[in-house]
Amino acid sequence: MRVLMVCLGNICRSPLAEGILKHKVHQRGLQWQVDSAGTGAWHVGEQPDPRSIDVAQRFGIDITDQRARQFDPQDFERFDLILAMDRQILRQLQQMATHPEHRRKIRLLLDVVHPGQGQEVPDPYYGGSEGFEKVFRLIETACDRLLAEYGPQ
Ligand code: 4NP
């Protein structure tokens, strides 16, 4: 499996999602490719937000080597599953997908936990650090379900 996590800035939510899924994939000895990107370009080249780095560190995950990049339409070919953190990102990705087989790769991350409910990983950028812990927990639950759904049976 090749999985791409996508948020707006690629500095808060999707770097956590990349780090958490990579950690779980490694623990299980799987060969998945995991990456993340943002639909916006404001933070390209930057490290994850310090609050994301901190919360990941508290759970034993190092995300300091990540650098933000913008989603590239080529990613529709490079990945099997493209997971949007919220409905705005889902819509942006769907608008960029020109082929039906590309559209089928796009899914709302929390849809794997609560199918069809449209639940979102809230943007924690303008809040305090407690928002980042909530985001971490939401993503962690989703990654467990992702591995159960797409991993080896
Ligand atoms: P992210 O959070 O999409 O989870 O990385 C954000 C980071 C930066 C901005 C918005 C959301 N921004 O507007 O700069």
Q: How far is the CA of 152 from the centre of ligand 1 (A)?
A: 33
Q: Indicate which residue's Cα is closest to atom 6 of ligand 1.
A: 9
The verdict on whether 72 is a catalytic residue reads no
Domains and CATH numbers, the chain: 2-150 (3.40.50.2300)
Is the pLDDT at 34 greater than 90? The verdict is yes
Query: Which pLDDT does position 153 carry in this prediction?
Result: 82
pLDDT in tens, 104-133: 999 999 999 999 999 999 999 998 889 999
Residue of 60, 52, 66 lying closest to 136 (CA atoms):
52
Q: Which helix (H) or strand (E) holds 37?
A: strand 33-38
* CA 33 – CA 139 distance, rounded (Å): 17
Considering the candidates 35, 49, 75, 123, report the single residue annotated as catalytic. 123
By percentage, how much of the chain surpasses pLDDT 70? 100
Report pLDDT for 129.
Answer: 86
Q: What is the pLDDT of residues 53-84, one digit of tens each?
A: 999 999 999 999 999 999 999 999 999 999 99
Residues 90-94 have a mean pLDDT of 98
Give me ligand 1 centre to Cα 43, in Å: 8
Residues 6+ apart with CB under 8 A from 29: none
Closest CA to 9 of 43, 34, 36: 43
Give the residue among 5, 1, 2 at the shortest CA–CA distance from 140.
5
Name the residue of 52, 87, 125 to mutate for ligand 1: max ligand atoms within 8 A of Cβ.
125
